[in-house]
């Protein structure tokens, strides 16, 4: 199968599954295992957004891919590395601590920008995963909303590896519930627009549950 065909299949699947929501989620092509020569053909498939999980990888690939894609940081971000990517990424998906929020705020203000971020939720309460617990989300959202250098745009979640599809769907649905709840709070300076969830194995379920962004790697580059 060609890259174009793989993209077409994903598009078909999300169009079908997201029908009740009126709009399919945006595809973020996760390029963490791919080199620039594999990444660039995505342009011809109409993919505009790519996701990387490491700061170092973004730095290395940037000269080859810059201005062709909007780059999303989807992995864990260390406070001391914010300064290396703040100007180059369009959205940080993995904000999950107030110290990280403060550093993003500080760096954003230094560059006179507002940095778009998503708050990561540890929806399955996994020990080893990043993200805030559900019950911490609302206070964390309120704290982030007070930082002028941050533009909180929504929520993100990473699902447990190897979970049953039924379990995954209920977790996705729970995330959508949290997202809607946050939107209803209508907090000043917060615009709840994006819900980033679903990867190669389960993006169809995420689309059905109301994701606005899916992050797909291996289904594209396998
Ligand atoms: C690697 C990764 C993905 C994509 O995973 P695939 O299973 O290859 O689609 C999505 N989100 C995050 C945070 C990742 O690290």
Whether 222 shows a pLDDT value over 80: the answer reads no
- pLDDT digit string (tens) for 142-188? 999 999 999 999 999 999 999 999 999 999 999 999 999 999 999 99
Q: State the average pLDDT for the chain.
A: 97
Q: Looking at residue 158, what is its pLDDT?
A: 98
| Residue list, ligand 1 pocket, CB within 6 Å | 30, 32, 53, 74-75, 158, 199-201, 215-219
The percent of residues in the chain predicted with pLDDT above 90, rounded, is 98
Measured from the Cα of 158, ligand 1's closest atom is 13
Distance CA 138, CA 129 (A): 19
Q: Looking at residue 66, what is its pLDDT?
A: 84
- pLDDT digit string (tens) for 83-134? 999 999 999 999 999 999 999 999 999 999 999 999 999 999 999 999 999 9
Q: Looking at residue 1, what is its pLDDT?
A: 92
The arithmetic mean of pLDDT across residues 69-93, rounded, is 97
34 contact partners, CB below 8 Å, separation of at least 6: 221
Whether 74 shows a pLDDT value over 80: the answer reads yes
The percent of residues in the chain predicted with pLDDT above 70, rounded, is 100
77-111 residues labelled b (16+ CB within 10 A) or e (exposed):
beeebbeebbeebebbbbbbbeebbbbbbebbeee
Whether 75 shows a pLDDT value over 80: the answer reads yes
- List phi, psi (to 5°) of 218: -60, -30
Whether 37 shows a pLDDT value over 80: the answer reads yes
Please state whether beta strands 70-73 and 49-52 pair in parallel, antiparallel, or not at all (unpaired): parallel
Distance CA 135, CA 35 (A): 39
Angle between helices 134-145 and 98-110 (to 10 degrees): 20
- Which one, of 80, 27, 89, lies nearest residue 53 by Cα? 89
Check if the beta carbon of residue 119 is closer than 8 Å to that of residue 138. Answer: no
Measured from the Cα of 215, ligand 1's closest atom is 10
Could you tell me the pLDDT band of residue 194, with boundaries at 50, 70 and 90?
A: very high
Q: Looking at residue 129, what is its pLDDT?
A: 94
Atom 7 of ligand 1 has which residue's CA nearest to it?
200
CA of 187 to the centre of ligand 1 (A): 30
For residue 116, what is the DSSP state?
A: E
């Amino acid at each position: 199968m060609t890259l174009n065909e793989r993209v077409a299949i994903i598009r078909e699947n999300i169009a079908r599954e997201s029908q009740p929501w009126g709009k399919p989620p945006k595809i973020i092509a996760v390029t963490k295992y791919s080199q620039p020569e594999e990444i660039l053909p995505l342009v011809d498939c109409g993919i505009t957004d790519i996701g990387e999980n490491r700061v170092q990888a973004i730095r290395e690939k940037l000269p080859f891919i810059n201005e062709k894609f909007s780059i999303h940081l989807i992995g864990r971000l260390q406070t001391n590395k914010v300064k290396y990517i703040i100007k180059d990424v369009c959205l940080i998906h993995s904000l999950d601590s107030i110290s990280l929020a403060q550093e993003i705020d500080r760096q954003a203000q230094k560059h006179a920008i507002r940095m778009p971020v998503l708050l990561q939720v540890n929806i399955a309460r996994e020990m080893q995963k990043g993200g805030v617990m559900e019950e911490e989300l609302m206070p964390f959202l309120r704290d982030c909303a007070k930082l002028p250098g941050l533009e909180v745009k929504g929520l993100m979640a990473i699902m447990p590896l190897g979970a049953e599809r039924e379990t995954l769907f209920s977790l996705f649905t729970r995330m959508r519930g949290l997202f809607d709840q946050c939107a209803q709070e209508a907090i000043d300076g917060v615009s709840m627009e994006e819900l980033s969830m679903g990867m190669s194995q389960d993006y169809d379920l995420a689309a059905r549950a109301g994701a606005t962004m899916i992050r797909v790697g291996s289904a594209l580059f396998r």
